[in-house]
Copies of this chain bind each other. A is one copy, B any other.
Amino acid sequence: TRLSSRFTHANSFALRSHTCGELRKSDVGRKVKLSGWVQFQRLNKFVLLRDAYGVTQLVVPDEKLDILNKIRNIPLESVISADGKVAARPPGQDNPKQLTGEVEVILDDIEVLSSSISNLPFTVQESPKVKESLRLEYRYLQLRHESLQRNIRLRSEIVMKMREFLVRVHGFVDIETPTLFRRTPGGAQEFVVPTRTSGKFYSLVQSPQQFKQLLMVGGFDRYFQIARCYRDEGTKANRQPEFTQVDIEMSFTTKENIQRLIEGLLNHVWPEDMGRIPIPFPEMTYKDAMKNYGVDKPDTRFDNLLQDVTELAKASEIFRLFGSSEIANFAAIAMVFKSSAALVSKSAEESLLESAKMTTDKTKLSFVLIRMQDGNKWKSSLTKKLTQETMNSIGDRLGASAGDVILLGLGPRESLVPSMGKMRLELANHLETLGVKLRSNTNNFLWVVDFPLFLPSEELDGGPLQSAHHPFTAPRPEDEHLLRSSPLDVRGLHYDLVLNGSEIGGGSIRIHQSDVQEFVLKEILQEDPINLLHLLKALRCGAPPHGGIALGLDRLMSIICETKSIRDVIAFPKSLDGKDPMSGAPTSISEKEKKMYHIGVVQNK
């Protein structure tokens, strides 16, 4: 860790002269005072003292019996402060792995500030390997580990740099907006908060979206906020009931201006030791992303693109086998992983094909894994049913050769494409666990644009259209005339920011014309405008054109810190089920509180 060098002022107002990561050979002879945790001790003579900044070796001189008595049997993780003199370590005893490894502190005295229990549930060093429920229960122990110290401190540093860039370089104003508000129609499920007025509830905001637009109407033309947001989605792998977004909005701007602002922002905060990021970021349409990657957040660090072989399939016996007239919009899509045939075991193949069917309309989808052999011979479950001519035409089109793996998917295009996108990632992950290097060693930022503004209803009986993102996104000007006639063909001025296949942000130019907003809400989405009356009214009072973006800070930090979960970049995360194993939250409340908030607990099955 190189953190210590960044925090040179960490000793002001503190009962220490130096941190435990600070002393060097040039300090030899200096009288110092250190405070920290006993990480290790040996022979009642050597103590390894740790704080957030590093470790320093303390040495008890033989004649100091009083110190000896204090540290004898002192439990590890006890807190002490130590006075002493810096000395060079004896020849041959330097520890090059420690920043302070050339020196030690010969003790004059120590004070035991807080004695730890001796039976800690786990040691700080082993904490990353402890099962998560126990780690979260004793989160304060794990927080002492250098990996979490690094993640949380780097998060602070990156947020600080964001602020400096936005405020000092570009004149943005940091404005706090309420979290106790009223329900936003059409978004995620929002937590509710009962009040002392019977039957009246606040909702916890899922984003400052409405407020930031109202700020634009209110003349704050360059707003940002590191904003706490809330969503009750059940806790998914990379979700938390509360999370943080970098929330930005500007008036009198364009999509491209906001994109350039964000590129500048990320370039400014990107850790130096991770290399520079190339800006501007490339841009890809939603259509191309889906076509080539089967997903709207492509991981462009590797190719293995989806290839459409529908025409070839239709011209062959495949159509008869899989594409009977029952399947509307039949498609055949394939992708090739070169020289991978020997790396996909039968069981890997089965779990890969199974996973693709998990989330989609499995009755109409078929997937085949083909191991290519010499002469366009396919080793696959399909081989017997196909003519060599068909295998030739597809194999040639794909440029596949002996030793390659082809994944071929067949079925309705709408469900086939995302399944193929999923399999592309899963097969790549599988190959990489076996040591194949598929992904480039880069950080691939990507703008995905030209999303449709609306999606068909998810209801079977065909309810009103839904917003692809949210009801405030403006249509592309050249598509605006289609709003009435053909709303599903309208593309929005929305932009998603993708990093290495993860969506880390999204934003749009907003609708600033009250009549357009009203039409979208009432006529297209068929929402009750009562929930957004304040916004509609505001747009009638002189609303500047405006747009913005929100970056998911937890996810961004997780990628920067290379952690498996966003929980590793949050000081006190909830567990997957939304609980806090440390405090036991959530808990029951008192009858007095139930009465105060006019609520009763109802047992639903």
Contacts and interface: CB of A to CB of B under 8 A. Distances in A.
Interface of A: 7-10, 12-16, 35, 37-38, 51-52, 75, 77-79, 81, 113-117, 120, 138-144, 148-149, 152-153, 155-157, 159-160, 163, 167-171, 173-183, 189, 191-204, 210-211, 214-215, 217-222, 228, 230, 232, 234, 241-242, 244, 250-254, 257-258, 260-261, 512-513, 534, 537-545, 570-572, 574, 578, 580, 582-589, 593-604
A182 B9 contact: no
A285 B114 CA distance: 30
Given A9-B169, A178-B580, A544-B114, A16 B252 contact: yes
Given A9-B170, A201-B588, 20 more contacts: A15-B254, A15-B257, A15-B545, A35-B251, A35-B544, A78-B542, A79-B545, A114-B545, A117-B540, A117-B541, A141-B218, A141-B541, A143-B219, A148-B218, A153-B173, A180-B585, A189-B596, A192-B194, A203-B589, A599-B599
Nearest to A174: B156
A257 B14 contact: yes
- Taking each of A180, A191, A232, A584, which has the highest tally of chain B beta carbons within 10 Å of its own beta carbon? A180
Given A77-B542, A253-B13, A257-B14, A192 B192 contact: no
B242 A574 contact: no
Given A15-B252, A601-B598, A219 B37 contact: yes
Give the number of copies in the complex.
Answer: 2
A252 B218 contact: no
A571 B215 contact: yes
Contact of A599 (B7, B584, B600): B600
Contacts of A593: 192
A92 B4 CA distance: 63
A244 B116 CA distance: 35
Given A160-B163, A196-B232, A586-B200, A178 B242 contact: yes
A354 to B, nearest CB: 29
Nearest to A146: B219
Given A176-B244, A600-B600, A116 B588 contact: no
B571 A211 contact: yes
A265 to B, nearest CB: 11
A570 B221 CA distance: 17
A203 B194 CA distance: 11
A228 B179 contact: yes
Nearest to A213: B140
Contacts of A210: 583
A513 B596 contact: no
Contacts of A542: 37-38, 75, 77-79, 114-116
A7 B221 CA distance: 12
11 contacts: A13-B258, A15-B545, A120-B541, A140-B538, A141-B218, A160-B167, A182-B587, A192-B194, A195-B578, A198-B604, A202-B586
Contacts of A156: 167, 173-175
Nearest to A35: B252
Contacts of A79: 542-545
A14 B250 contact: yes
Contacts of A14: 221-222, 250-253, 257
Contact of A149 (B193, B217, B219): B219
Contacts of A169: 9, 12
B140 A52 contact: no
A149 to B, nearest CB: 6
Contacts of A141: 218, 541
Contacts of A601: 198-199, 598-600
A195 B586 contact: yes
A580 B181 contact: yes
A578 B178 CA distance: 12
A251 to B, nearest CB: 8
A586 B15 contact: no
A587 B193 contact: no
